[in-house]
Structure 1
Amino acid sequence: MRWLLRRHGYYWPTILKDFIEYAKGCQDCQKHGWAMDVIGQIHPESSKGHKYILMATDFFTKWVEAVPLKKVTQAEVLEFIEKTIIHRFGLPESIMID
């Protein structure tokens, strides 16, 4: 943020301190939520028969987790959320799905 403002010609002596305080106090910046999407059907399928990719992106860190799937079922999605997201990163505040 500081870099963008300075690039556009804005500057004040306490710019870095102000941005650090803003980031520490920003509730929206600290929310941990995930966005999930299914990619596919992929042609040709993989050598193991996977036709879809289930992926999730963390809003805060922009970290991406993905898993190949043969079929997209409720059980597969719940297993992905439990093992890949909750067990590794904790319970997210929200999950958005297309």
Structure 2
Amino acid sequence: METVGEAVAELVLTLLACLALIVYMSWSFSPRLTMAGAGLLSLFLAHGAWRIFRDPAKGRRRRGLAAVTTAGFRLTAATGVFLLFYGTGCGCL
């Protein structure tokens, strides 16, 4: 189980490093577009959180954009929780 956790953590950290490189390169190309992209990502995650934590209407399921933003928020939150628990238990901090 520890090996699986390490493999998943390595994958997540690699993806975060690639994201940091993309942000750095984007910032050097155009700071305004980078901030616009960060704003859109924030709106995406905020909409997903809003759809998760609000009271659903009776008889309505999540469809389309709501389902995508909810899945994106859940994935981001799960990744954050995983890194928090893994980071505190690895003895490297």
| TM-score normalised to structure 1 length | 0.24
Bigger Rg over Cα: 1
| TM-score normalised to structure 2 length | 0.25
- Whichever structure has more strand as a proportion of its residues is 1
